[in-house]
Amino acid sequence: MADDDQNTNQGAAMGASAGAAAGTAAGGAADRMREGAQKAQAAFGEQVIEPARRAGEAMRASGQKVAENSSQIGVKMIDQAETNTHQAFDAMRRAAQAKDLSEVMKIQGEYLREQSTRSMTQAREIGELIMQFGRDAVGGMRGGGQG
């Protein structure tokens, strides 16, 4: 009977030892799974979330820049209209003070030539502004996307 008790104690000790080894193995597996999940989460953040955040910020900045640029173009066009109006009134004053019809025709011809040149220059200025704004917007999107 003492042998039976001894065998039982040995069996219990071996069972406890095997249980402890299994628990250690299971704990190690759980740690490895946790580490893997943390790495996957970090990779997801780096590969998906961060680029999406940077793209959103770039789009927001680009939208703000578009609003500023639109305002700048509007102000430029108002300035040009003001210049054109002043030039037209100046030509009308000179024509009203003209001494004869030939002088009026000369003033009108000069005004039309100047207005034509001015219109071409003003259109070029607006076009250049729009092109610059486009380059800035594309550069901002590219720069914002690379982060």
Q: Summarize pLDDT for 116-146 with one digit per residue, the tens.
A: 999 999 999 999 999 998 888 777 666 544 4
Token digits of residue 44: 């997801």
The closest alpha carbon to 79, from 25, 139, 129, 17, belongs to 129
Is-above-0.75 flag for pTM? no
pLDDT range class, residue 147, cuts 50, 70, 90: very low
CA 72, CA 132: separation in Å to the nearest integer?
Answer: 12
CB 70 within 8 A of CB 129: no
CB 108 within 8 A of CB 95: yes
Phi, psi of 100 (to 5 degrees): -150, 175
DSSP3 helix / strand / coil % (the chain, rounded to 5)? 95, 0, 5
Most trustworthy range by pLDDT among 22-26, 68-72, 112-116? 112-116
For tokens 């037209």, the residue is 88
CB 87 within 8 A of CB 111: yes
